[in-house]
Structure formats: C-alpha cells, structure tokens
Amino acid sequence: MKKLLNEFLKGIIRENPTFVLVLGLCPTLAVSVSIINGIGMGIAATFVLLGSNIIISLIKRIVPDRIRIPCFIVVIATFVTIVEMTMKAYSPALNRALGIYVPLIVVNCMVLGRAEAYAQRATVVNALFDGLGMGIGFTLALILISAIREFFGSGQILGQTLFKGFEPASIFAMPSGALLVIGLLLGFFNLLKNRKAQ
C-alpha cells in the first residue's frame, strides 16, 4: 500500500513531469493562458495518461518489442480522439479554447514517455497509480503556470477581475511570457532543491 502511494506521489513533486522531467512543454506553453484552460488540458491529459498507462501495461505481454512504438501510439491516439469527441459534444467552448492542442496530446512526450519508461514494465495497478500521479502533477503545474499568466497577463483569476486599475502585462498572455514564467519557475524549483540538498 505504501508503495502504491509512493507511485502516486512521485509524479506530483519528486518527478513532476513539467518541472522535473520537463516533458510535455508544447501544450504547457500553448494553453496555459488561463486557469480554466490549464485545468481542462490537465484533465484531458490525465485521462489519456491513465487510459494509455493501463492499456499498455495490460497488453505489454502481447506487444513485441520491435513494434511497440506504433502500438503505443495507436492506444494513445484512441484515447485522445475519445477525449476530443467528448469535449466537442459537451464542452465546445473549452474545445475551442484548447484548439489544436487537444489532438496534439498524442505527441505529448509525457504520455509516450510514461508508456516507454514505466507502463510497459509495470503491473496494471502500479501503472494506474503512476498515470494518476503524473497526470495530477501535470495538472497542478499547469494550474500554477496559468494562474501566474492569467493574473499578470489579463489581470484576472478564473475570469474574475481582481483589482480595478491594474494594467495587465500582455506579454504574459503571449507564448514568450509562457517561456519566461516556466523558465523562472524551473530556476526557482531548482534553487529550492539545491537548498534542501545542502
């Protein structure tokens, strides 16, 4: 039980996909303009990750090593398409805001990375907890980045304007601002880690 908890928790801080493994930056940079987008992308990616991790660890015995990549991609793409169709049907506004980045979860290095590095060797239960932890870690990172960007870039938190007369810096709403925020956060987390190690 403790081991499972560990599998779950490692994705949130110790092996956070965004800030430690530095995987899946493309959607992170593109969609983290507002918290709602960040949460939407996080949940979509978590669902795909969870599904692909479980299926891949289930089929690990029948998939030959030499064709594992196309097999993994088909599995991942299936889940992504399910997410996209569901989103279009039930939340068209979110789908429009996330745009091309929903289909692009297919090539999110984080999903394939976990399949390659973990799920294809793990038991189903372990893979499930790993996928859930990684997904939540990714979502939390997205929320952190998008909260900073939403606040500075449009002066709002969750679509609510906080201060009257606050002039938002539109650079944070642009991709260059995303790079800036992620870079500074990465530096900050490394600083914390180094302090702790000393």
Partner 1 sequence: MENRLIVSSSPHLHKGESVSRIMWMVAISLLPAGVAGVVIFGLNALWVSILAVITALATEGILQVLTKRKVSILDGSAFVTGLLLAYNLPPNVPIWLPVIGSFFAIAVGKQVFGGLGQNIFNPALVGRVFLMASWPKYMTAFSRPLNYDALTSATPLASLKEGKILENISYLDLFLGKRGGCIGEVCILALLLGAAFLLIRGYISWHIPATYIASTAILTYIFGPRGLFSGDWLFHILSGGLILGAFFMATDYVTSPLTRKGQIIFGIGCGLLTAIIRLWGGYPEGASYAILMMNAATPIIDRYTKNRVYGTRPL
Partner 2 sequence: MKEMVRYGFILALICTIASGLLATVNSFTKSKIIAQAQAEEEASLKEVVAQGERFEAIKSQAGTIYYRVYDKEAKFIGVAFKASGKGYSSIIETMVGMLKDGTITTIKILSQNETPGLGANVAGRDFTGQFTNKKDLTKVQAITGATISSRAVIEMVKNKAEEIKGLIKDGK
Among 180, 185, 186, 189, binds partner 1 (CB under 8 A): 180
User: Is residue 156 classed as helix, strand or coil in its secondary structure?
Assistant: strand
* 185 touches partner 1 by CB under 8 A: no
Note whether 108 and 27 are within 8 A (CB).
Answer: yes
Among 27, 131, 133, 153, binds partner 2 (CB under 8 A): 153
**Residues 27-66: x where in contact with partner 2 by CB under 8 A, - otherwise, as a string:** --------------------------------x--xxx-x
CB of 19 to partner 1, least distance (A): 17
Closest CA to 105 of 127, 144, 79, 141: 79
* 166 touches partner 2 by CB under 8 A: no
The DSSP-derived string for 54-115 is HHHHHSTTTS-GGGHHHHHHHHHHHHHHHHHHHHHHH-HHHHHHHGGGTGGGGG-HHHHHHH
Question: CA 26, 29, 31, 36 torsion: positive or negative?
Answer: positive
Q: Which is nearer to partner 2, 129 or 152 (by Cβ)?
A: 152
* 171 touches partner 1 by CB under 8 A: yes
Among 90, 160, 167, 195, binds partner 1 (CB under 8 A): 167
Q: Cα(143)–Cα(155) distance, rounded to whole angstroms?
A: 16
Query: Is residue 19 exposed (0-12), middle (13-18) or buried (19+ Cβ within 10 Å)?
Result: buried
Kindly indicate which of the ranges 7-15, 69-77, 106-114, 126-134 contains the residues binding partner 2, using the contact rule CB under 8 A. 69-77
Among 172, 178, 181, 182, binds partner 1 (CB under 8 A): 172
Chain residues that interact with partner 2, rule: CB under 8 A: 59, 62-64, 66-67, 70-71, 74-75, 77-78, 81-82, 85-86, 88-90, 92, 153-154, 168, 170, 173-174
